[in-house]
Structures are given as C-alpha cells and as structure tokens.
Amino acid sequence: MAAAVGKTLSVGSTISAGSKSGPATHHKTMGVKLNSVARFSSFSGLKATSSVNQGLDASLLGSGNLVALKTSFVAKAVEQNQRLYKQLQTQASYKVAVLGAAGGIGQPLALLIKMSPLVSALHLYDVANVKGVAADLSHCNTPSQVLDFTGPSELASALKGVNVVVIPAGVPRKPGMTRDDLFNINAGIVKNLIEAVADNCPDAFIHIISNPVNSTVPIAAEILKKKGVYDPKKLFGVTTLDVVRANTFVAQKKNLKLIDVDVPVIGGHAGITILPLLSKTRPSVTFTDEEVQELTVRIQNAGTEVVEAKAGAGSATLSMAYAAARFVESSLRALDGDSDVYECTYIESDVTDLPFFASRVKLGRKGVEAVITKDLQGLSEYEEQALEALKPELRASIEKGIAFANKQPVAGA
C-alpha cells in the first residue's frame, strides 16, 4: 500500500555512509552511498529512485588530501542524507473514522486503512459486532491505534477529532434489488450519521459510500446546511470504484499495463449515470464503436455482475473497499501536503447544469482545490449523447435526496 521511495546519492562505490566502511580500494574513484527510505502513501506499488553519480580522479590528489576529502565528503553526505530523510519521512498523524465498520465493506476497508502509514488512529463504529473487528485489526503491526465504538451512545466519541470520516453504513444490494430500492433504508442511516458528523467533526473530509450515492450525497449536503457547517469542498461521493473498474476492463481489453491506464469516469454512481470517458483514456488508445458500447455497458453494470455472481451472498464489497481505501489514501496525502493528488469524485459542481456531478478533481489540504474541466471538452459523439441521456435520471436522484432531507427534522439544528 505504501511504496518505498529510495533516495540515493552515489559517488563511486567504496564507502557507504550509514553502514560499515571497508578499506580503500585501488580504484580511481572514491565513493559514498546514501540511502534514505521514506514510506509514502500510494496504492500503486511503484518504486522511484533518484541518483547522482560523480567520479573523482584519485591520481590528482596526494594520499593525505584524498583521506581528508573522503572524511569531509562523508560528513557532508551524512548530513545531507539526514536532511533528506527528515523531509521525506511520513508521519502517522491523521485520524480516520469508519462508520459501518463491521459490515461487508467496512471490514476490508478498515484493514486497508490500517495499513496506511499516514493514519495514527482508526476509529471503528457500528451498531453491533464491531469489538471483534477492532480486536482482530489491532493485532496488525502497523502504527495506527484501533478503537471500537458501538451504538448511538458512542457515536460522538467515535467522531471527536477525526480528520476523515468514511461512511459505508447501510444495507447491501441483493439480487433483483436496484440502487433505488436501497433508498428508504440507507437515506435515514446517512442522515443520522451526518448529523453526528456535523456536531463532532464538522471540518473533516466526509466520504459517502452508502448507496444510492446519487441521492445520499445531496442528503448529506442538506443536513450539513441545516447544521450551518456545510463545506462543499469536503463532501465527497466515493465513485472511485467506477474508475477502478474502467481501468481494469480497458487494460484487459487492450492488453495494456494496468499501472499505466487511467480512464476518467463522470456523471453519477448508478447505471447509465456512470459515464466512462474512453476517449480520454491514458495512454491514448483506439476503440471501435462496438468496444466503446461493450465497455461502457460493462462498467455501468459491473455492480450487478458481482451481485449475480455472488447469488444472494453479497454485493461488491471487496472491490468497493479497495476503491474506497484508495480514495481515503488520496485524501490523506492531500491533507499531508502532497500537491499532486487527483481523483474522480461526486461533489457539488457547476461543470454541468446539474447541482451534483462526478468528475476529476485536484485535492488539497482544504478539500477540492480545482475541478478538472478539460476532461469534459472534446468528447466523442457517443459520450456527448450519453452525457445528455444520463442527466434526467441523475437530476431525479438528486432531487429525491434533497426532498428527503428537507422533510426530515434535524436534531439540534
């Protein structure tokens, strides 16, 4: 989950600062090798190395001067190595709360978050069965402390001082159930949890996973408005799974290295409101009309694909947990000052005539720093038509969420 990043300064190869120094050799180079290893928050597993190499002709120096130069260089190199390490070392300093941590998504999500080097405390909340999950996770030898909270009476404590709140709570989809069928149950759950978030950690990043996301995010926005703490830059619908699926399916279809593939996905997070922009795939790749149709439909219906494959035993819990953990990690990196964090997410937006819309954004310490509008420019004819076709359904879902929130009394508002 965290990639090791090596910083190497290499001058020849005969002396290694920070390790045992061997006797001088007869080569015409003198060497110092420095290694700084930092733990970075990334799901990519990439390793990066930056190196500097320099040779010094020993024949130009007397033996005394060579020894002096070696000693001086080693001292300076060690100092530089320590400075680099301090700059690169990641500090586990953020608190994350998972609301619904004992569920099918919550458990694997909590495990993945526990692995993050940026997390100092992991608060697990559910209405039941969370103590065992917390006890199990607490045995993992990663830095974050795991605390459990059970039931409404402990919800406030679970949220105190938290930087990121992730909400997978709710009932899962079952065979024959649409996301709209989930609405009445999950809308009420999200409302109650968001009220507690507003009261106890109003400045936190809020990640909504509970379906139907197209409606639950507008519900959360309305509740936060009533509480007087709404910050549209910090409320996110987690649509990362659509991107994860798009990247996977395109890489398989086109025999590409998965690590290189990036497909922006816009719109919403249900059925035809999910619109992968295959024309914007990186690296650039050509699709036939049939491939575009096939891939788009598969990405839109991938959740149903899993529900049917599990034959009543669950929904897309593992892939959703992976995608949600990726978005949590991106948020933590942004909070930690990384200036190069981009994700697709469902937010309050003005890039279309819809009040909420999923698109690529740049994340920063205060949430959404910028919406990347260029993804929506120069769309293919198929994508233009699909974008217009999704709007009525997405608008209806948004309005349904807002209407639900406005009918409900808000505690303490």
Helices (H), 301-380: 302-309, 318-335
Amino acid in position 390: L
Q: pLDDT tens digits, residue range 52-84? A: 333 334 444 455 555 555 666 666 666 666 554
> Which of 42, 61, 88, 4 is CA-nearest to residue 328?
42
C-alpha to C-alpha distances, 75 to 10, 36, 62, 289, nearest whole angstrom? 14, 16, 20, 63
For residues 324 and 213, give the distance between their C-alpha atoms in angstroms, rounded to a whole number. Answer: 13
Whole-prediction pTM:
0.79
SS3 206: strand
Which has the higher per-residue pLDDT, 28 or 284?
Answer: 284
For residues 344 and 363, give the distance between their C-alpha atoms in angstroms, rounded to a whole number. Answer: 10
Does the structure show a pLDDT above 80 at 48? no
Domain 240-399 has CATH 3.90.110.10: yes
* 269 tagged catalytic: yes
For the chain, what are the domain ranges?
Answer: 94-238, 240-399
For residues 412 and 398, give the distance between their C-alpha atoms in angstroms, rounded to a whole number. Answer: 25
For residues 127 and 116, give the distance between their C-alpha atoms in angstroms, rounded to a whole number. Answer: 25
- Tell me: cis bond preceding 212? Omega within 30 of 0 counts: yes
Q: In what order do the strands lie in the sheet with 49-53?
A: 15-16, 32-41, 2-11, 49-53
Q: What is the mean pLDDT of the chain?
A: 84
C-alpha to C-alpha distances, 369 to 77, 105, 236, 342, 395, nearest whole angstrom? 38, 28, 13, 10, 25
Does the structure show a pLDDT above 80 at 28? no
For residues 170 and 193, give the distance between their C-alpha atoms in angstroms, rounded to a whole number. Answer: 11
Q: pLDDT tens digits, residue range 217-230? A: 999 999 999 999 99
Of these residues, 26, 139, 207, 269, which one is catalytic? 269
SS3 209: coil
For range 25-34, the mean pLDDT: 38
Strand spans (E) along 134-287? 145-150, 164-167, 205-208, 235-237, 265-267, 274-276
Q: pLDDT tens digits, residue range 392-407? A: 999 999 999 999 999 9
Cβ contacts of residue 384 below 8 Å, gap of 6+? none
Polymer length of the chain: 413
For residues 106 and 133, give the distance between their C-alpha atoms in angstroms, rounded to a whole number. Answer: 10
Does the structure show a pLDDT above 90 at 324? yes
For residues 361 and 234, give the distance between their C-alpha atoms in angstroms, rounded to a whole number. Answer: 12
Cβ contacts of residue 221 below 8 Å, gap of 6+? 230, 232, 235, 348, 356, 405
For residues 296 and 272, give the distance between their C-alpha atoms in angstroms, rounded to a whole number. Answer: 9
Given this model, what pLDDT does residue 79 score?
64
**CATH assignment of 94-238?**
3.40.50.720
